[in-house]
Structure 1
């Protein structure tokens, strides 16, 4: 740090501020210090900074899978917002398991992160205890149907399921199927079904035939779930898959088997993944503002860490039914 200070013509304290609290330094001075850091290939000692400031300047984000584009959109925005304030994002993959999430949180707490960004409102009892005892800010994303530990950013999975039901009934569909992840594990799939079935009931339509698949699900699970549903009831007007990752493989399998979509059967997904508009026919689905969730979650964390008042501790980013060719 002394070498950087000499090269930039500033004090070591100024170098420390540029690294840890850049907003306290003028843009001109900050550029001089950052240029000296680049020229000298200086890497700050994170452990020493942590001891000196009692802050690790790191935030943990735990998502249920690394294989889905919408979670990538969320994480990329979390990282962008946090990095702009010199915070590091530590990423964990729970694989839809609250037990694995608990293990990840326990391990990350050893690093003393400044905050956590989690997926969903359902966690183990020990996870609740660990986070409450830590005292660090927590933002839960992807869900607003329940009580949050601290702050939350998301949408109502129940309302989203209901909106899709209303759309399909208005289109004239009357017999339905639902394929989703194991409800003991995939709580948001369970909520989407609850909203979907509730919407159908309110409109005087029979409840859907339900098939559960393994979690975390693969493309093959989408096809297998589709097969199992058709084996139970060969004729369905429309099938709602709890995620595009299940719906798209089933849609492609229909082409292989000569099943016309939507003439023979309509298919809907959830999430509006990257491939939803590339497949033929394009997939009717529910768009979720994943990037906005990531941005808002990171901003809430930064405001809390700075001691700034929050306008809302529960932010609803909404959703939208994307009416396309498959239904």
Structure 2
């Protein structure tokens, strides 16, 4: 394969409570695009249902418009993984007339080729509810990072990424064996990167040769910073044609790329959504840390062990959002 060359604010003050929205219409009035100098709005709803997933999307007040709406999920490595089930996301897919988008993995498994990946998507029920597009099926393209970057000066994404007018980042929030946790920022960085792009990020720009990934894995914080860089490339490209939803259920310490993940040890938390990916992932992590559930221990250990919150810090440093947020609870 061809090579491509080259916590401070609001930490434990996590949630501003008591800000309930009595209706979706009321929530829409407060939806806003945020900067690092403002307080971001994160919407929250406790019950994880198909209707509530649509409700929280509408609360954001940013309609998914365009001829081609991409919904980025993880299709899951096996039937044992905790990926978002088709029956949960189907009403949202229909509401936005969306296409499920993915890219092939950079490791040997059930999704490292387009043929195998589409087969996995079919087996997991996704092809029954929407069109599924493996965005690097026809190769990849370089997406530049304009301005400041930390580790990589460009991203490598699936070629089909440029076919889409709007992007919904629909993430299963959980632990992750390499990133500490997986949420919106990881779903954008690794999920939209082609298999070569995943290699590029994991090696912090040493190589895009998938066959060389494991001998060139970057120092942990450099990998997390490269994820932030990749987010900047995608977010700059999409502008305001993007929104983010985290579904915090089946909270294993392992990601959906693990075909045999550890069983979840804490209860589901709910659905969170924002126009700011930094605030959304910060709120999701805070909700784990501030939970009264004793089962949170192992997930917190995984996040801390892998320096997971460094991705949030790096993304904020790059101007992709703010860690200052308020929670609006939808009833």
Normalised by the shorter chain, which TM-score bucket?
Answer: under 0.3
Scaled by the length of structure 1, what TM-score is found?
0.25
Higher helix share: 1
Structure number with bigger Rg: 1
**Larger relative contact order (C-alpha < 8 A, sep ≥ 6)?**
2
